């Protein structure tokens, strides 16, 4: 935690600097949008075809979970943008998840996974999802032992990692390697930024100018990834399901309990405090990491709790100066970002901005689902 | 195997189990170990009623698919009629489901006796183990809090707000109600054959050496040379469940062994002298609890008596009490008649079974934003 706190403090400092710079000069410069390029590959998890193929099978395998019903793909479905098409993700049987499922596409570029950035790598994100009570609810020893009874896994892990039997940590590494192949970096926006001026329509180019100027999107959605990976409270309204769905209320309180908030906060919180869960710093209440924008055409609904169902709704939300939640109005905190203010966009300008955002998505990425290898006995009668 | 997030305390309780076994050995007087009727403890009715509902509620498992009563079924004296238990979806059991009748009076629990503290810990173990109910107890607490019936019942039981701690108190309180009653042995209505069988039980057959006390068990582990159940090793789902368990319990070479090591996991003696020791099972309610032994290898009581009569199998560390008994066929029948006379009335009435429907839906809390969580 010390380490996390330090790096957050550092980031908060950077954000603070950036904000004072905004007030000082109207024409603050941010890292420009840029073609995405290739994803970074960690030195301790190099890519190989065999590893990627193994990771792909594991991504689809529900035995990597508690009751052998819930695989990675269960909440990251290729035909739902490698995400899940409901406001809150579906969760483990008997539960509902508590946040919107994020797309796996281009997650390879992110330094902070999950909406509050609680995993620093794909290798760490996978076990967190596979083991959480409202996600995979699996246990390391059971998942690892299951793989030892799947001869094809024993062989593949041996080929890739050189172990006698599969190790669960290597499973996360293989899944991460597979996820690093789920790249969409040839969108119309990428092509345009690389010099192909015919890749975007006039309307989209006008939208990009708004993005970089009047609408101010670039203040957070900047650089090649279109995210600064920093944390903000936009005033996204609380999830409606927490108000009227008992199952969601169960999960909401479970998260308060499991994330270790104080007794007082457990009683009072009625909205997802985001980054606060990690740091317990009041100024982090209600803040979530800026999401990247590529592939978003396919990943509705949007925001950490799926409050908005199409991109126009999102743009209209910003145009209205964001919204209100328990962390904007002083109920629990007042951390709304000063960057969020009415934009004064006309209907036509909103259309232009939406058209530009749609240019961030390109073709859908589909793959042939793998065949899952069966269990086999290690012993005969 | 859930060492994190409040999911298990096995490692802790193993130490406690050792202590309590020692205490038991020292304190069990001859009088305590005399056979006779089972006397149950005092019961708090409101707490037991709450525990009863929890016992039959599937929402106490991770994916809301199994309740305690899925394996511990009242009409089978709280067993399941299977050689090897079913286990949580995605796993398959590697041991026979033991009866819960009189379990409140036991000194330690599970076939290997690995928990020797109390039923609160046993309840936790069963709720949280990935192959039994795979429940994160924090989520369990919040599920229970969401059910208005429970909110009232916890209040009535004096527990206040539902919590995972009081869930683990209420279920053992319900288990206190599961006490044998009405057996021919207790009522003095045994047949002549059963009466002759009792004499053999206490004499020539020597059963009473281990099957002593009102529950007919010394609560100790012995190696009786019961054959392995080959299905544990031929069915990959059973084998992997055992292997994962053995791994967690620190059994060396857990993927290569083809034997249930039993109580060896507790003290793990270097000479492996506790391998294949299993707790002496109670002989109460046998009429309802076939098949028998820790791995369900015997279908009938006459099979078991015949097994003991031969002196068991030649295995390392066989308990010296196991020896050829020289019982005639008629004597074996008498012994079986006595064993059958130890079964009482089925505990299947509404005082033992939650007969109301338990909805798996969670009503939303009204005015959610205005009330404290």
For position B17, which CATH number holds?
A: 1.10.760.10
Yes or no, beta carbons of A139 and B368 under 8 Å apart = no
pLDDT of residue A1: 34
Q: Band of the pLDDT at A27, cuts 50, 70, 90?
A: low
Is B215 part of a structural domain of the chain?
yes
Is B346 part of a structural domain of the chain?
no
pLDDT average, residue stretch B211-228: 96
∠A104-A105-A110 over CA atoms, to 5°? Answer: 80
Quote the CA–CA distance of A238 and B133 in Å, as a whole number. Answer: 32
Quote the CA–CA distance of A68 and B31 in Å, as a whole number. Answer: 50
Quote the CA–CA distance of B304 and A106 in Å, as a whole number. Answer: 63
Residue B4 has pLDDT above 60, yes or no: no
Collapsed DSSP state (helix, strand, coil) of residue A5: helix
- Do residues B333 and B314 both lie within one domain? yes
pLDDT of residue B314: 81
Is B202 part of a structural domain of the chain?
yes
Computed over every residue of chain A, the mean pLDDT equals 93
Of A65, A145, A379, the CB nearest to B234: A379
Which residue, B278, B113, B286, is CA-closest to B215? B286
Which residue, B189, B207, B209, is CA-closest to B343? B189
Is B345 part of a structural domain of the chain?
no
Output the six-digit token pair for A375. Answer: 């269990």
Quote the CA–CA distance of B65 and B58 in Å, as a whole number. Answer: 6
Output the six-digit token pair for A3. Answer: 């380490």
- Do residues B139 and B194 both lie within one domain? no
Query: For residue B134, which residues of chain A lie inside 8 Å, CB to CB?
Result: 66-67, 137, 139
Q: For the segment A58-108, what is each residue's pLDDT rounded down to a tens digit?
A: 999 999 999 999 999 999 999 999 999 999 999 999 999 999 999 999 999
Q: A24-31: long-range contacts at Cβ-Cβ below 8 A with a sequence spacing of 24 or more?
A: A28/A219, A30/A218, A30/A219, A30/A222, A30/A223, A30/A228, A31/A222, A31/A223, A31/A224, A31/A228
Is B369 part of a structural domain of the chain?
no
**What letter does residue B40 receive in the DSSP assignment?**
P
- Do residues B111 and B191 both lie within one domain? no
- Do residues B28 and B159 both lie within one domain? yes
Could you report the predicted ipTM of this complex, rounded to two decimals? Answer: 0.91
Query: For residue B138, which residues of chain A lie inside 8 Å, CB to CB?
Result: 133, 254, 257-258
- pTM here is 0.91
Q: For the segment A105-148, what is each residue's pLDDT rounded down to a tens digit?
A: 999 999 999 999 999 999 999 999 999 999 999 999 999 999 99
Is B146 part of a structural domain of the chain?
yes
Query: For residue B90, which residues of chain A lie inside 8 Å, CB to CB?
Result: 63, 65-69, 142
Is B125 part of a structural domain of the chain?
yes
Q: Band of the pLDDT at B28, cuts 50, 70, 90?
A: low
Tell me if chain B has a CB within 8 Å of the CB of A329: no
Burial (CB < 10 A; 0-12, 13-18, 19+), residue B316, is exposed
- Whole-angstrom CA distances from A114 to A61, A89, A248 are 21, 13, 19
Query: For residue B361, which residues of chain A lie inside 8 Å, CB to CB?
Result: 246-247
- Do residues B228 and B100 both lie within one domain? no
Q: For the segment B68-77, what is each residue's pLDDT rounded down to a tens digit?
A: 999 999 999 9
Mutate to test the interface with A, among B5, B62, B135 (most CBs of A within 10 A): B62
Q: For the segment A278-320, what is each residue's pLDDT rounded down to a tens digit?
A: 999 999 999 999 999 999 999 999 999 999 999 999 999 999 9
- Answer for the pair A149, A140: CB distance below 8 angstroms, yes or no: no
Is B336 part of a structural domain of the chain?
yes
Tell me if chain B has a CB within 8 Å of the CB of A5: no
Beta partners for B277?
B262
- Whole-angstrom CA distances from A101 to A24, A259, A350 are 38, 19, 26
- Do residues B171 and B232 both lie within one domain? no
Superfamily of domain A49-179: Cytochrome c-like domain (1.10.760.10)
A104 in the Ramachandran plot: left (φ > 0), alpha (ψ -120 to 50) or beta? alpha
How many domains are contained in chain B? 2
- Do residues B196 and B322 both lie within one domain? yes
CA atoms within 13 A on the CB side of B190: 21
Q: What is the DSSP string of A170-225?
A: HHHHHHHHHHTT-----SHHHHHHTT-TTSS-HHHHHHHHHHHTTT-GGGTS-TTT
Which residues of chain A from 263 to 292 reach within 8 Å of chain B, CB to CB? 266-270
- CATH 1.10.760.10 assigned to domain A185-358? The reply is yes
Q: For the segment B284-295, what is each residue's pLDDT rounded down to a tens digit?
A: 999 999 999 999
Q: For the segment B88-112, what is each residue's pLDDT rounded down to a tens digit?
A: 999 999 999 999 999 999 999 999 9
pLDDT average, residue stretch B252-271: 95
pLDDT average, residue stretch A48-66: 98
Collapsed DSSP state (helix, strand, coil) of residue A336: strand
- A32 contact partners, CB below 8 Å, separation of at least 6: A212, A218, A222, A223
pLDDT of residue B22: 41
- Do residues B95 and B241 both lie within one domain? no
Which residue, B185, B159, B274, B183, is CA-closest to B223? B274
Quote the CA–CA distance of B199 and B202 in Å, as a whole number. Answer: 5
- Do residues B303 and B235 both lie within one domain? yes
- Do residues B316 and B210 both lie within one domain? yes
Quote the percentage of chain B above a pLDDT of 70.
92
Type and span of the H or E element at B222: strand B221-222
Query: For residue B365, which residues of chain A lie inside 8 Å, CB to CB?
Result: 246, 249
Yes or no, beta carbons of A379 and B233 under 8 Å apart = yes
Query: For residue A163, which residues of chain B lie inside 8 Å, CB to CB?
Result: none
Tell me if chain B has a CB within 8 Å of the CB of A254: yes
Quote the CA–CA distance of A308 and A331 in Å, as a whole number. Answer: 23
Find the range with the poorest average confidence among A12-26, B248-262, B309-323, B338-352: A12-26
Yes or no, beta carbons of A251 and B88 under 8 Å apart = no
Residue B360 has pLDDT above 90, yes or no: no
Q: Which domain holds residue B155?
A: 10-180+351-359
Query: For residue A148, which residues of chain B lie inside 8 Å, CB to CB?
Result: 240, 243, 255
Among chain A residues, the shortest Cα distance to B87 is held by A67
- Do residues B33 and B134 both lie within one domain? yes
Yes or no, beta carbons of B62 and A94 under 8 Å apart = yes
Output the six-digit token pair for B164. Answer: 């995972």
Residue A222 has pLDDT above 90, yes or no: yes
What residues does CATH 1.10.760.10 cover in chain A? 49-179, 185-358
- In this structure, the strands spanning B221-222 and B278-279 are antiparallel
How many residue contacts between A and B have a Cβ separation below 8 Å? 152
Yes or no, beta carbons of B90 and A66 under 8 Å apart = yes
Burial (CB < 10 A; 0-12, 13-18, 19+), residue B317, is middle
Yes or no, beta carbons of B65 and A67 under 8 Å apart = yes
∠A244-A248-A253 over CA atoms, to 5°? Answer: 110
- Do residues B40 and B79 both lie within one domain? yes
């Amino acid at each position: 935690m010390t380490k996390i706190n330090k790096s957050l403090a550092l980031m908060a400092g950077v954000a603070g600097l950036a904000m004072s710079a905004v007030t000082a000069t109207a024409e603050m410069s941010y890292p420009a949008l840029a073609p995405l390029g290739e994803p970074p590959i960690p030195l301790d998890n190099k890519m190989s075809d065999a590893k990627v193929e193994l990771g792909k099978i594991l991504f689809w395998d529900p035995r990597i979970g508690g009751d052998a019903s819930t695989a990675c793909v269960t909440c990251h479905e290729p035909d739902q943008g490698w995400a899940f098409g409901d406001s809150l993700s579906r969760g483990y049987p008997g539960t509902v998840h508590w946040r919107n499922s994020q797309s796996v596409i281009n997650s390879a570029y992110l330094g902070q996974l999950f909406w509050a950035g609680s995993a620093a790598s794909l290798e760490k994100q996978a076990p967190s999802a596979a083991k959480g009570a409202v996600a995979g609810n699996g246990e390391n020893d059971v998942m690892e032992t299951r793989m030892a009874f799947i001869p094809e896994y024993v062989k593949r892990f041996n080929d890739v990692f050189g172990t006698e039997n599969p190790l669960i940590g290597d499973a996360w590494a293989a899944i991460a390697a597979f996820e690093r192949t789920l790249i969409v970096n040839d969108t119309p926006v990428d092509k345009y930024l690389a010099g192909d001026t015919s890749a975007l329509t006039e309307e989209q180019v006008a939208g990009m100018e708004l993005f970089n100027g009047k609408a101010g999107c670039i203040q957070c959605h900047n650089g090649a990834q279109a995210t600064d990976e920093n944390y903000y409270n936009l005033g996204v309204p609380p999830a409606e399901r927490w108000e009227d769905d008992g199952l969601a209320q169960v999960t909401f309180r479970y998260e308060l309990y499991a994330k270790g908030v104080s007794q007082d906060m457990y009683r009072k919180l009625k909205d997802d405090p985001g980054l606060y869960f990690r740091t317990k710093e009041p100024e982090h209440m209600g803040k979530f990491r800026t999401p990247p924008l590529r592939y978003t055409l396919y990943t509705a609904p949007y925001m950490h709790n799926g409050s908005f169902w199409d991109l126009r709704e999102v743009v209209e939300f910003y145009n209205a100066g964001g919204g209100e939640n328990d962390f904007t109005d002083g109920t629990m905190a007042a951390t709304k970002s000063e960057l969020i203010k009415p934009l004064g966009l006309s209907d036509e300008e909103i259309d232009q901005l939406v058209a530009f955002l749609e240019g961030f998505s390109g073709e859908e990425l589909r793959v042939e689902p793998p065949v899952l290898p069966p269990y086999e006995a290690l012993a005969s009668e | 195997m859930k060492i994190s997030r409040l999911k298990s305390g096995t490692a802790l309780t193993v130490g406690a189990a050792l202590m309590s076994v020692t205490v038991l050995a020292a304190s069990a007087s001859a009088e305590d170990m005399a056979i006779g009727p089972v006397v149950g403890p005092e019961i708090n009715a409101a707490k037991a009623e709450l525990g009863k509902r929890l016992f039959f509620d599937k929402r106490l498992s991770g994916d809301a698919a199994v309740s305690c009563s899925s394996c511990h079924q009242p009409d089978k004296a709280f067993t399941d009629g299977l050689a090897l238990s079913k286990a949580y979806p995605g796993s398959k059991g590697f041991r026979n489901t033991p009866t819960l009748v009189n379990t409140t009076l036991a000194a330690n629990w599970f076939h290997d006796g690995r928990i020797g503290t109390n039923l609160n810990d046993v309840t936790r173990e069963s709720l949280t183990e990935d192959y039994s109910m795979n429940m994160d107890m924090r989520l369990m607490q919040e599920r229970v809090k969401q059910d208005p019936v429970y909110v009232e019942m916890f209040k009535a039981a004096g527990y206040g707000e539902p919590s995972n701690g009081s869930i683990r108190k209420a279920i053992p309180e319900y288990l206190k109600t599961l006490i044998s009653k009405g057996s021919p042995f207790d009522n003095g209505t045994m047949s002549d054959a059963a009466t002759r069988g009792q004499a053999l039980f206490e004499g020539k057959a020597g059963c009473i050496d281990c099957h002593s006390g009102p529950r007919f068990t010394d609560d100790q582990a012995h190696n009786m040379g019961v054959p392995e159940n080959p299905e544990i090793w031929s069915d990959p789902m059973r084998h992997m469940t055992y292997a994962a368990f053995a791994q967690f319990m620190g059994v060396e070479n857990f993927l290569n062994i083809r034997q249930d090591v039993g109580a060896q996991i507790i003290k793990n003696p270097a000479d492996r002298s506790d391998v294949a020791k299993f707790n002496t099972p109670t002989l109460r309610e046998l009429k309802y609890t076939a098949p028998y032994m820790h791995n369900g290898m015997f279908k009938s009581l006459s099979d078991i008596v015949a097994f003991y009569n031969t002196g068991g199998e030649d295995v390392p560390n066989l308990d010296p009490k196991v020896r050829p008994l020289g019982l005639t066929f008629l004597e074996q029948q008498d012994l079986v008649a006595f064993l059958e006379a130890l079964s009482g009335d089925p505990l299947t009435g509404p005082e033992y079974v939650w007969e109301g429907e338990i909805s798996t839906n969670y009503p939303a809390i009204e005015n959610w934003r205005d009330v404290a969580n």
